[in-house]
Amino acid sequence: MSLHQIAVSHSFLLSSRSAYTLNPLLFSKRNRFRISLSHSRFTSIKHRSFAVAVSDNGIFTSPELAKSFDFTSEERIYNWWLSQGYFRPKFDWESDPFVISMPPPNVTGSLHMGHAMFVTLEDIMVRYHRMRGRPTLWLPGTDHAGIATQLVVERMLASEGIKRVELGRDEFEKRVWEWKEKYGGTITNQIKRLGASCDWTRECFTLDEQLSRAVIEAFIRLHEKGLIYQGSYMVNWSPKLQTAVSDLEVEYSEEPGTLYYIKYRVAGGSRSDFLTIATTRPETLFGDVAIAVHPQDERYSKYVGKMAIVPMTYGRHVPIISDKYVDKDFGTGVLKISPGHDHNDYVLARKLGLPILNVMNKDGTLNEVAGLYCGLDRFEARKKLWSDLEETDLAVKMEPHSLRVPRSQRGGEVIEPLVSKQWFVTMQPLAEKALLAVEKGELTIIPERFEKIYNHWLTNIKDWCISRQLWWGHRIPVWYIVGNDCEEEYIVARSAEEALMRARDKYGKDVEVYQDPDVLDTWFSSALWPFSTLGWPDELAEDFKRFYPTTMLETGHDILFFWVARMVMMGIEFTGTVPFSYVYLHGLIRDSQGRKMSKTLGNVIDPLDTIKEFGTDALRFTLALGTSGQDLNLSTERLTANKAFTNKLWNAGKFLLQVLPNRDNVSGWQNIEACKFNTEGYLLRLPLPECWVVSKLHMLIDAVTESYNKFFFGDVGREIYDFFWGDFADWYIEASKARIYHSGDDSVALVAQTVLLYVFENILKLLHPFMPFVTEELWQALPNRREALIISSWPQTALPRSTDLVKRFENLQALTRAIRNARAEYSVEPAKRVTASIVGSEEVIQYISEEKEVLALLSKLDLDNIHFADSPPEDAKQSVHLIASEGLEAYLPLADMVDISAEVQRLTKRLSKMQTEYEGLKARLNSPKFIEKAPKDVVRGVQEKAAEAEEKINLTKNRLALLKSTVMLLQ
């Protein structure tokens, strides 16, 4: 088989298990390449298949046996890792642990690209630090997702004709637990499919007994400190779900709506005395408690201090007041104050001491305050009210208006601002400590720019509504006295038995208690996640002592406040310590056009479908190349390119297995394993290409390790990719073929084999955190693997390198590129070997000539007709002159490269066509009509084309002149 048939034209990345040192016997001063090795000790390399070094357990597949990496083997590899216990922290490693708590996905969820992003980034961190020898714990779990789970089960029951209220609370909770046991593991299994090396033996669920105990303890401790209270305040209310919802569960969308203009007559005035207000929600006028205008609005100054009559309320009067809060330029400049149904109005009413009037029931219908409209749905009431206003001549007009509509993330319905009695946490004292943690450097936020957002939120923090009117979740540990209408008296306890005992001690033996029906906001239990999962409140728990505080919290930047900041506050409050040292925030995954993925747009990319088509490694590598905090545009083109990268790695492994000794060649492997590269003396004894690639590898190890430590994962991926593709595959693998296939010297081949293996092993290690499956498969295929790649040691840093020899090889590369470009320019047949004269200084010629075989192979030169000299050859004028770098030139005889006569004819025809096109462009530019009437950018475009055409014509003329002069000289 020819060299071209077996050439591997792919990029290759390699990584090494342990440092190897080069055998000094291979490099005598007289001949660094040659050494007498008997055939029995070392077998000459020929193209052949070897028995692969893969365990005979059906788990791994060798490149010798498969054309490309088989994605279906990923699950086998994953299950093997799991069965070997590789995901569990090793306590015999003497190093500080590296700990990440997985952001718990909803138990109802299924995998989407947001999950794929956090799994990829966290697994990269975990695999890297595991290989660095740190006891590594990635603790997984799922969230009970109160609203989402209750909705799913209610829909399931509805399909059976059953309503939740008909079942009762206990039976409903039983059904939810049954659903969770049956379907709740879907998201976990899908996360495993991404290669997540979590310690699944420690998997948690927010309603587990231990975590529930932590939640109750946290509530009680906060209450005892006076930081939890009950009160009636404005919240986001979901009429359909019949519960308060958090800000995070409200999504705002720009929607077409209507602005309604309504007359409010001034009490005691004439028919012309009225104020016109503009509102998007006329049905809330029944809750108006004042009419406000700006103090400097002269249009209405005469009415300030008087009373206005609220339409359709049988003459209810409200004061007309002035306040700078009013926007003079919006609508009519008159604002109706409905503090029971608008967040801003609520704040203003509390500042001014105005009453709060609620006109809405919790199901979204109007209550008795609305008079004749009582019982109507809020949107039905809006239509009827406007119709009635028109009949009474109080409707002025209505006009289209774009609205920012708050909708429930779960149900999609419009959220209602509503004053409701809820449980709250006082946040300011907790926030002060969390702000100080960042200020003192106890917590580092990556990227740093999000510190401003973190500080802004915590500086302007509001009290947290933690109660939800649901049946699924952590029941609030508060009990009331049966028969006592005063809910201000209540008992906070860790259990019903404790509550009853305390109630009887205070109120008598016959007293009975009932528990608050509400549950806690899901984010309350999530805020305890970094320490509740490790055994808190038992601070003597083994995991808590070993792994708390954790190292890293990685999540999306969109929940920096809703989750991350709350974890910081709760961690400091309950443990006295910031729960993690670093917060790494990733961006959102968008489509190729930068749009947010949504079912409406039809641009959602399913990670599982992506894995089937491109493989997990390609998906992970694509996601990891982004920049922290920045949104990432995901495209099929990127995935396709990185799938090709996976295949190129595979082909690199295939090539390596073809050229390495047989597994049973003990002496051959002893020679390879005796070589080491960790001292400068051995490195400098290597031939130039080998010294270059090993030096570049050692530079790469340092750069990549530093980038890993700084969490610059995009840089890591690009650095490895570029080295593998640009250095190892394109250059060294090709150069090694000169040693292996053409040297005829076993000792020379041994050097190349050793370097190939050393570099490839190291690349696999560096790349493993990004692409765990294909790298482990390739690692297992290599002979003499003593341990799995996942637990192998990270490459040593600060290894020797020679910058001088790197520059020398770069000169050789520059020369090769110049010759390749000339061949392409003159359309030289790929198989044709050409003559070359290489001219340079004595020093340059010496090291270039030593690599004559490599130069010939890479540049496709005639090995027997490469001449080295310190001055140009006699036929320099009939040659293509190439300047590779300062002090290094090449001359390629024209007659050796092309059929000169045929080339003259071809270029003459081409020149004629080019001149015709050029003259057409110049004619347009010489036309005054074109210059005057055509757009400037069009004129500029024609000018650029003309300049480009002129340059090509001159180049072609020069080449024709050279060819013609060569013909004359040859004649």
272-331 pLDDT, tens per residue?
899 999 999 999 999 999 999 999 999 999 999 999 999 999 899 999 999 998 988 888
Q: Is 703 domain-assigned?
A: yes
Whether residue 711 sits in one domain with residue 847: no
φ, ψ of residue 671 in degrees (nearest 5):
-60, -45
Query: Is residue 864 scored above 80 in pLDDT?
Result: yes
CA atoms of 619 and 835, how far apart (whole Å): 46
Query: Is residue 442 scored above 50 in pLDDT?
Result: yes
Q: Which amino acid is residue 797, in one-letter code?
A: T
Q: Do 430 and 569 meet the contact criterion of CB atoms below 8 Å apart?
A: yes
Under the banding of pLDDT at 50, 70 and 90, the label for residue 858 is very high
Alpha carbons within 13 A on the beta-carbon side of 316: 16
Whether residue 649 sits in one domain with residue 766: yes
Closest CA to 815 of 741, 888, 709, 715: 888
Confidence at residue 366, expressed as pLDDT on a 0 to 100 scale = 96
Query: Is residue 46 scored above 70 in pLDDT?
Result: no
Under the banding of pLDDT at 50, 70 and 90, the label for residue 850 is very high
Confidence at residue 338, expressed as pLDDT on a 0 to 100 scale = 95
Whether residue 924 sits in one domain with residue 815: no
Q: Which of 470, 496, 515 is the last residue of a domain?
A: 515
Measured at the CA of 673, the angle between CA 671 and CA 677, to 5 degrees, comes to: 110
Closest CA to 792 of 756, 764, 753: 764
Confidence at residue 445, expressed as pLDDT on a 0 to 100 scale = 96
CA atoms of 197 and 192, how far apart (whole Å): 8
CA atoms of 519 and 242, how far apart (whole Å): 13
Under the banding of pLDDT at 50, 70 and 90, the label for residue 37 is very low
Residue 594 burial (CB count, 10 A): 9
Confidence at residue 32, expressed as pLDDT on a 0 to 100 scale = 40
Q: What is the 3-state secondary structure (H, E, C) of 399-443?
A: EEEEEEEEEECCCCCECEEEEEEEEEECCHHHHHHHHHHHHCCCC
What's the Cα-to-Cα distance from 556 to each of 144, 532, 586, 604, 797, rounded to whole Å?
19, 21, 5, 18, 32
Q: Is 194 domain-assigned?
A: no
Q: Is 598 domain-assigned?
A: no
Contacts within 8 Å (CB) and 24+ apart, 311-315: 311/262, 311/263, 311/264, 311/285, 311/389, 311/392, 311/394, 312/285, 312/286, 312/371, 312/372, 312/373, 312/385, 312/388, 312/389, 312/392, 312/394, 313/285, 313/286, 313/371, 314/371
Confidence at residue 52, expressed as pLDDT on a 0 to 100 scale = 38
296-300, 481-485, 957-961: range with highest mean pLDDT: 296-300
Whether residue 402 sits in one domain with residue 502: no
Whether residue 906 sits in one domain with residue 859: no
Query: Is residue 6 scored above 60 in pLDDT?
Result: no
Q: Do 416 and 377 meet the contact criterion of CB atoms below 8 Å apart?
A: no
Query: Is residue 35 scored above 50 in pLDDT?
Result: no
Residue 359 carries which DSSP code? -
Whether residue 511 sits in one domain with residue 386: no
Quick: pLDDT tens for 718-755.
999 999 999 999 999 999 999 998 877 778 888 999 99
Query: Is residue 24 scored above 90 in pLDDT?
Result: no
Which residue range forms the structural domain that includes residue 504? 478-515
Closest CA to 219 of 563, 434, 517, 494: 494
Please report, for the domain that includes residue 951, its CATH number. 1.10.287
Mean pLDDT of the chain: 89
Residues near 284 by beta carbon (within 8 Å), at least 6 away in sequence:
336, 338, 340, 341, 342, 359
Residue 18 carries which DSSP code? S
Please report, for the domain that includes residue 744, its CATH number. 1.10.730.20
Quick: pLDDT tens for 551-605.
999 999 988 888 999 999 999 999 999 999 999 999 888 888 888 876 667 788 8
Whether residue 911 sits in one domain with residue 866: no
CA atoms of 170 and 155, how far apart (whole Å): 18
Please report, for the domain that includes residue 380, its CATH number. 3.90.740.10
Query: Is residue 21 scored above 90 in pLDDT?
Result: no
The distance of Cα 258 from the centroid of its chain, to the nearest Å, equals: 40
Whether residue 388 sits in one domain with residue 244: yes
CA atoms of 229 and 232, how far apart (whole Å): 10
Closest CA to 533 of 478, 560, 570, 561: 570
Alpha carbons within 13 A on the beta-carbon side of 50: 24
Under the banding of pLDDT at 50, 70 and 90, the label for residue 40 is very low
Mean pLDDT throughout 792-818? 96
Whether residue 338 sits in one domain with residue 268: yes
Task: Please report which residue ranges of 768-851 form alpha helices under DSSP H.
Answer: 772-781, 803-825, 842-850
Confidence at residue 599, expressed as pLDDT on a 0 to 100 scale = 64
> Residue 924 corresponds to which tokens in the numbers above?
């347009």
CA atoms of 660 and 781, how far apart (whole Å): 12
Query: Is residue 970 scored above 60 in pLDDT?
Result: no
Q: Is 110 domain-assigned?
A: no
Confidence at residue 723, expressed as pLDDT on a 0 to 100 scale = 98
Closest CA to 616 of 208, 73, 67: 73
- Prediction pTM value: 0.84
Burial of 281 (0-12, 13-18, 19+ CB in 10 A): buried
φ, ψ of residue 722 in degrees (nearest 5):
-65, -40
Mean pLDDT throughout 628-657? 93
Under the banding of pLDDT at 50, 70 and 90, the label for residue 955 is confident
What's the Cα-to-Cα distance from 426 to each of 89, 227, 467, 865, rounded to whole Å?
38, 5, 13, 86
Mean pLDDT throughout 823-848? 92
> Residue 8 corresponds to which tokens in the numbers above?
């591997």
Whether residue 243 sits in one domain with residue 373: yes
Q: Is 484 domain-assigned?
A: yes
Confidence at residue 49, expressed as pLDDT on a 0 to 100 scale = 37
191-200, 226-235, 500-509: range with highest mean pLDDT: 191-200
Q: Is 535 domain-assigned?
A: no
Closest CA to 547 of 522, 504, 512, 579: 579
Confidence at residue 250, expressed as pLDDT on a 0 to 100 scale = 87
Under the banding of pLDDT at 50, 70 and 90, the label for residue 966 is low
Q: Which of 418, 443, 460 is the last residue of a domain?
A: 418
Q: Is 22 domain-assigned?
A: no
Beta-strand relationship, 307-309 and 204-205: unpaired
Domain count, the chain: 5
Whether residue 332 sits in one domain with residue 413: yes
Whether residue 791 sits in one domain with residue 673: yes
Q: Is 101 domain-assigned?
A: no
Confidence at residue 967, expressed as pLDDT on a 0 to 100 scale = 61
Measured at the CA of 965, the angle between CA 964 and CA 966, to 5 degrees, comes to: 90
Region of 459 on the Ramachandran plot (φ > 0 left; ψ -120 to 50 alpha; else beta) = alpha
Q: Which of 898, 928, 956 is the last residue of a domain?
A: 898
